[in-house]
Amino acid sequence: MEMDDSMSKSNVENLNSFSMIRIIFCIFLLITAIFSQTNPDTVNSIIERENSAIDNEINLLGIQDNENWLVLRVEFPNQNFPDISYNQMFFGDNSISEYINQLTGGDTDLSIHIHDEIWKSPYTESYWGTDLGEIRDYGSQESGGASALASTAIEDSFINLNLSKWDLDGDSVIDRLLILHSGNAQELGGSSTSIWSHYSQLESSIEFSGYIVEHYTMASIHGGIGVILHEMMHQMGAVDLYDVHSNTPSRNWHGLGDWDIMASGNWINNGNSPSLPGAATLDLIGAINPIKINPKISDNYTIKPTANGGNPLVIDLSEGEKIWISLRSNIGFDKGLPGHGILLEHQDSNFGDFDDNEVNSDPKMAWVKIIEADGDDALQRARDYGSNGDVFQVNSIFGSLGHPIRDNRGLLAQWTISITNISSDSATIYFQSHYPNISVKMPRNPIELLDEESIFIDIILDTQCTFLVEYNEELNINSIQIDLEEGYHNIKIYDNTNIISKQGIVSGKLGCMGESFVDFNLQWYIVGHKLSNSTLESTIIWDSKSTIELYPVYFGNNSRIYSISLDGPVERIGTVVTQGNINTSDSITLDINPNGLLEPGMIAKGDLVFIDNKKTEQRIPIILTSNYDLPFMDLINWLSIPSNTLTVITVSLFFSLVFNTRNK
């Protein structure tokens, strides 16, 4: 009897423990469901990021010690492939191989395999290459364009070919594929029916005996090596550094001009003597081991020319920003540069749309730009493609003294560099640190302020100090003095209350008394409202024209003037109707024209791009999902959103556990 009582008591305790676990799990499910509905953007981005990594990842491999390129020739009717010396193009003087050798300082061996058979297209170049409006190489309606040409030629040519040599990292993806065609190059003056040389992903990957072809480069055999190298470097991860035009209004400029093959440097000497890449590009493709300057230690540094495989100097300027220092000498492929000396590049990785290869579409938000030594900003004003005045020479000084260098938050560099020697094979600089015992983070310039909103900065102190801010604003000199402890502080440095002006500049210095001060220059302007960057979603009709409304989240109460456009894949099917003066209650109207590009259930992603009258750009991600012609489509479309699906699952499990618990 005692044993039965003991067992009964034990069972009750186990049941109570199990019930408690159920209750805790039910609470967890309920919290998850609530979180999914109150934070849909966070949930959707997590799930979509994981799906994107699985479904859309393209493997681009940086430059390797052993580069193997597969070359496929394509011939069009009445445009026979010329009988040329491929050995001269790839391995002679001033050849592709010599270029790669200089780019890596002799660390890379290039092997070229010209596929034996020339693939003969049954259609003319215009069948594949005709443009449709601003869409290049769209082709005739049934052709599928240049991408379909590549797919067809690849499928026909590589059936019995062992592709293992061109998988350079053993991941079963072909890393280097160059398609040379016999037609004209549109970029060299060809008509709008000619193919524009390009790098592209295939519409669908192609598999041969376990090896996958995902991307390719296509160029005309009649172009120079500059175009071929430019496009092949895209396969290594490089991006275009000229002003890639999009539908977004922005200032025209020349990017890095002739200083980088990924800008206009591929056209030097009619494309036969392209310039070498700049430091930011070399870093992007993994071709260098940069010499990193410690900003807290003064020291001398020596660098070699880029054309001799010299590694550049790099110094961190602020979060996501750095300065590259290279020696561009009058040797090798850099002979054709507009000048020779020390070249500075200012890189800001906070900018740039890598998905759409639009990283340098606006000089105010450039991923990388040249700091022009003569200060005329001719590249940024589209006045030239580079000049001798862009490079720094012996005895030049830049940083906090001499030629001023500021980050995009308005902070002056806390160091000075002096060039002490330059020769054809080396240059020496002296780096002098003025590093303070304080870390400062400013908002990015220009600063948008709502009425009566103030400017705050973040600082981190290594030790307690008397913190001083002195600044000039509208001819007034102001100061703030605060005793602060060691650690993090958020400090108001400018109060916009009761200010009549709608824009201004606040400049001055700040720091701990008795230490080095930090020079700052902040530009601000008053706006009617600010925009949330929360993702906007909508369902669209897949097979006919339609109009949709998107509803951004606004902060503030007043109107603002915008030019609004679409960027990314969504711009192929959509046009923004709403323009001009936007109130905080206004929706954004889009006209949708599928153009035969959609199927039921397809997703088109992109950005709504807002540019105000100060040329300040803001982006809101959008996701458009095409509908199905099925019953209960509203429910299905609602469930297609990851956060909603997660909510349904968690709520279902919650009630299932609750009712099971009650029954027991």
DSSP states of 239-290 as a string?
---S----SS------TTGGG-TTTTGGGTTTTTSPPPP-HHHHHHTT----
Closest CA to 323 of 385, 400, 237: 400
The H or E element that residue 13 is part of is helix 2-38
- State which residues form the domain around 91: 66-235
Cα–Cα–Cα angle for 480, 482, 487, nearest 5°? 125
Beta strands 447-449 and 518-526, pairing class: parallel
Same domain, 520 and 533: no
Q: pLDDT band for 5, please (50, 70, 90 cuts).
A: low
Here the CATH number for the domain that contains residue 480 is 2.60.40.10
Q: Tell me: the pLDDT tens digits for 415-429?
A: 999 999 999 999 999
Provide mean pLDDT across the span 585-613.
90
Q: State which of 235, 255, 287 marks the end of a domain.
A: 235
Same domain, 371 and 507: no
d(CA 522, CA 473): 10
Residue 274 lies in a domain: yes
pLDDT for 254 equals 93
Same domain, 45 and 151: no
Same domain, 88 and 39: no
DSSP assignment string, 89-153: HHHSTT-HHHHHHHHTTT--EEEEEE-SSPEE-SS-HHHHH--BTTBTT--STTT-HHHHHHHHH
- Give Cα separations from 491 to 376, 454, 581 (angstroms): 36, 10, 34
Residue 248 lies in a domain: no
Range scoring the smallest mean pLDDT among 152-156, 301-305, 651-655: 651-655
Provide mean pLDDT across the span 376-404.
97
The whole-angstrom distance between residue 447's C-alpha and the CA centroid of its chain comes to 22
Closest CA to 429 of 462, 459, 396, 405: 396
pLDDT for 430 equals 99
Eight-class DSSP state of 187:
G
| Upper half-sphere CA count for residue 233 (Cβ side, 13 Å) | 30
Average pLDDT, the chain: 88
Q: Tell me: the pLDDT tens digits for 331-364?
A: 999 999 999 999 999 999 998 877 777 888 888 8
Q: Put the strands of the sheet holding 487-494 in their side by side order.
A: 438-441, 455-461, 487-494
| Upper half-sphere CA count for residue 172 (Cβ side, 13 Å) | 8
**Residues facing residue 218 across a β-bridge:** 179, 198
Domain count, the chain: 5
Residue 7 lies in a domain: no
Q: What percent of the chain has pLDDT over 70?
A: 86
- Give Cα separations from 308 to 103, 276, 283 (angstroms): 8, 11, 16
Residues 6+ apart with CB under 8 A from 241: 255, 256, 260, 262, 263, 278, 280, 281, 359, 360, 367, 368
Same domain, 536 and 512: no
Residue 557, both tokens: 């109460």
pLDDT for 54 equals 30
Closest CA to 347 of 304, 388, 384, 317: 317
Same domain, 316 and 387: yes
Q: What ranges make up the beta strands (E) of 444-558?
A: 447-449, 455-461, 465-473, 476-484, 487-494, 503-512, 518-526, 529-531, 536-540, 546-550, 554-556
d(CA 277, CA 284): 10
Q: pLDDT band for 403, please (50, 70, 90 cuts).
A: very high
Q: State which of 478, 506, 526 marks the end of a domain.
A: 526
Same domain, 166 and 178: yes
Q: Report pTM.
A: 0.83
Same domain, 91 and 216: yes
Eight-class DSSP state of 411:
B
Same domain, 131 and 222: yes
Same domain, 479 and 347: no
